[in-house]
Structure 1
Amino acid sequence: MSAPTMKSTHRDAGGLAPEVEAESEVEQLRYERDYWRGLFEQLVENYPKMAVVLDTEDRLAHHNDVAEAVTGFDAETVLGENVYDAYPISEDDETFAQTVTREGQSRTEDEYRSIPTADGERWVQSTGVPLRDPDGELVGALETTTDVTDLVDQQQTITEVQSQVSEEVSTKADSAVETTERVDEAIESTRSLADEQVENMEEVAEEVGSLSATVEEVAASAEEVNERAAKAERLAAQSAESGADAIERMSDVAERSDEVADRTRNLAEQVAAIDDIVEVINDIAEQTNILALNANIEAARAGEAGDGFAVVADEVKSLATEVQSESERIDEIIREIRTEAEETIESVENVADEVHDGTDTIRELVDNQQTIVEVVDETSTGMEDIAEATDDQAVRTEEVASMVDTAADRAKSVSDEVETIADANAEQAAFVSDIAVAIERLESTVDQLDIDETVTIERGG
């Protein structure tokens, strides 16, 4: 007859309890032992982080798959081995499980530490729980470890970047301070230039106002010159017409001068003929005088009978002498007439030449007058264009004067803006100073984040 089956359903308040059907108490205890061991081993093996168990003799009792991945040592090699034989750590160091076993209480590391692995150093942070038997005796410790190598690398990178950024920002801040000082100097110079520009713009505004008035006067003068040019054009045209009339009259005078010269030459020729006649008369007078002398000689020979003949001979001699005297006078007059005629011919010829030259000159004058008419016409047209352009320039000058006034107002505004910029630059300088202080605080914070000084280096698993 078999022994009765025992069924245990004992359960403490809360927690897990095995439901056991055993034929004996021994079997029940054995089942419960295996139950709880299985749960613990499942917990260690399936824990999502590195988990190891050390006994009080520092032997590795458990080493899960994550521990293999992190350390690079498989469970078959290290289980049952002393931790100093299983892991390449110094005997002067201890694992966190050893620390928890030694202290006898659970805790979590506050800082990161480095551990040796098959692939080199890794940064970790562990939590340890001491393990006790039902009697409360310490039998070992469970160590769960989080691999924070990537986090530490990031923190180190951040620290380096922060340090670099801090240095660069500090340099930039110093440069910004220098730049701010230079900007302040530039603003001061700009303020002076702006004030000077305001004064210059006011002077320019006055000058442009004067220029506008001058341009208006020039416009008026251009219109007056245009009117005078038109009048000069009319006078030049009239002068050209008068010159043409003068050419015709000078041509008539030249023709008449030629006729006078010809007639004077004819008169000289006739006077020359008269001179020949006078010479004949002189010859006759001389011969008559000779005959009278011979008659007197014969009368003297005749005596009283020749007295009457002598009287006639004397009369003939006297007449011959008178005729000769008149002939000589006529000859003298003829010589004077010939001289005058020659001089008159020469003068008339000179006058004719001068008249011809004058005609040519007047013709050239008329041509020049015609050219002047054309030039004056072009000048008149140009003056009309100038007058229109000057009127347009006057309008534009007024616009420029208006723009200069606007520019002067803007220059004053610029001067005011420069004052505003100066104030803003002062605020910027204060802001840069605040940045410098913040950089100092950042450098202090970076120093506190120095991993090498804040983590505890531990050689162990």
Structure 2
Amino acid sequence: MVKFKKISTKLIVLAIVVALVPVVISSGSSLSTLQNNMNSQMHETLVSDTNLIESMLNDEVASLNSLSKYPTKTSGMVNSIQDKDINGVKTRLIQLTEGSDVAYVAVTDKNGNFIASNTNDNLDASGIVNKLKNSGKDSGILKLSSTFMNGFPKYKIEGVSEGIGLASISEISDDGQVIGYLLMVRILNNNVELVDKIKSITGNEVTIFMDDIRISTSILKDGARFVGTKSSGDVYAETRAGNAYDGEANINNEDYVTIYEPLYDLDGKYIGMLFVGTPKSALTGLMNQLMIQTLIVSLLGLLISIGLAFFISKSISKPMALLKDGAEKFSKGDYSHRVEVNTHDETHDLAESFNEMADNVVKLNKTLDMDKAKLAELLEEVSSVMHGVAEGDLTGRMSNADDEKSLEYVINAGIISTGELITELKEEITILDNEVHKIRKELEDAKETSEQVSEAASQVATASSDQSIKLQDATDQLELTSQIAKDLYGNAEDTVQLNTEIEDNSQLGVKKVENAVVTMQKITNVIDNLGKSIEELGEESKKINEVTTLIKDIAEQTGLLALNASIEAARAGEAGKGFAVVASEIKSLAEEIQKSVEDINKTIVGINGKVTTTIKLGTTGREEVDKGVIAIDEVNNAFMQIKESVNRATAAVNNIKEDSKKASVSTDDALRNAQDIASISEEFTATAEEVTASTEELDRVISEIEQIAKKVVEVAERVEKSAERFKIE
């Protein structure tokens, strides 16, 4: 490490460092801040340029849309389509593309079917028309197929088959009726006018990508456009995910500060990227220039600081040299020398302090010469008093000890404090001796108590062991009782199950009896109805009997009439023969009717007899049915009593089941408690044995304490004898 001997050199170095450090820090901070500001400004510029590209692309789309609307309103175009003049339409389309950068113009009918285009091979682009129609937009950016791009060699890029273009459609109408569509396409592949125009405005490089391939760029390589090349995979993946890439990129072996923005078609589908960047070398050159300027300013500041440091060091080092010279003379015994400094600053104050110190030293020397004799007398008195203290005489005192700050007062106070300390020590030793004797007495009592505890612990251990054996026997009995309770609980469960089955069967029997009662009731009702019907039949048969009686009377009267007719026919002679035959037939018919009526009466009498018998049987059957109903009621009552008995039995068995379950649980609890008690008993036995061992250890400790107490007594006696030799009063 470099060491500087002169303060002037140190001041110069310090001034240089003090001047250099802020310059370096401020320069570094300024450069860092400037670089951050430049990076931030560059980022904002690139973002603004990216927005400008998107805006210009939208303007191009809008311009193309406006351009496509004009031809659709001309009568020539409308008439050519109406007349199906394809050559006329084609001629007009070719005229539209002359002098413009529109690559493709086509006309379709109202259904989107191709009619004509400006290309020689009549390239069909009706798919583009239909895509625009289906999207609901009349213009936008879209991806062009390889088939479409094959028709435009001017825009072909080696190794690239597809392309990106701006497309617009406009309706062709006649009297408000749509008769077709006009399509215009501007291809962006190799379209340098757009990127160069943006570069001329922003000053930054511009590139349009299809997916990850450059199709139009302002960047040159060997004088040619840097198209057909790919971006880095990281950039493509980031924009493909829908994010902008903001950072550095190496393009054509040169680093660029860049922004890549995703590019979407009119359906919102990713089709490529927009790039804006500026060479990093331009920023590096600017930063280097700023660093040089900063370095020059720092050097100028450093030179000025060094000049000021020399001036300041001289103004400080000169008074310091005078102070050094004065101190050297003073150290050599020249107490009359004084330092003269007129700087009116801290060095002036330091010189004044030095001169004052010299005056005080002169006064101190005079004082020391006067106090030498007094000091010799004081030392002799101190030696005498301290010699007495060494002999054990604490009654000696220093004279002239009134001043509390004097050595005499301090020595006397020390002797007095020592005497008081020895007195207190004697008293404490006496107290200690008494306490030690008490401890010995207590230790003897504790030893006796320990022996008693040991004997009691031994007895407890023996009792606990016996209790553990008895508890084990009780545990075995409880296990057997627990098993019996569990078996009883199982049998109770089986009995409950059987009672449940009996209850179900009795319930079924009750239902069957109730059904039988209902059936018997129905039979009773049928018999009653049958009796009523038979009684009604008897009444009707009586009515038939009355009718037959009437018919019999009519037959008798008819017979009388036939007899009278026969008499009258006999009187009439030949004229009444025919009437006589009729009268004879009527008489025969009356007789047959009368005979039939008699047969009917006999039959009715028989029926009436059978009806009477049937009524009696019905009454008898009804009485028997009533008896059957009574018997079934008695059976039903018996079943109900059986059911009630089963219910009571079930309840009783359930109580037995619950009681057996509780007994089982209680037995298990008792078994666990017995086992726990057995464990506790074993632990108690072990604890008693440990207590016995502990009391033995306690006896040993008490013995050791007794030995220590004896030694303490001996030490106290020796200390007391030593303290006795001090004379205090």
TM range (shorter): 0.3 to 0.5
Indicate the structure (1 or 2) with the bigger Cα radius of gyration: 1
TM-score when normalising by structure 2? 0.28
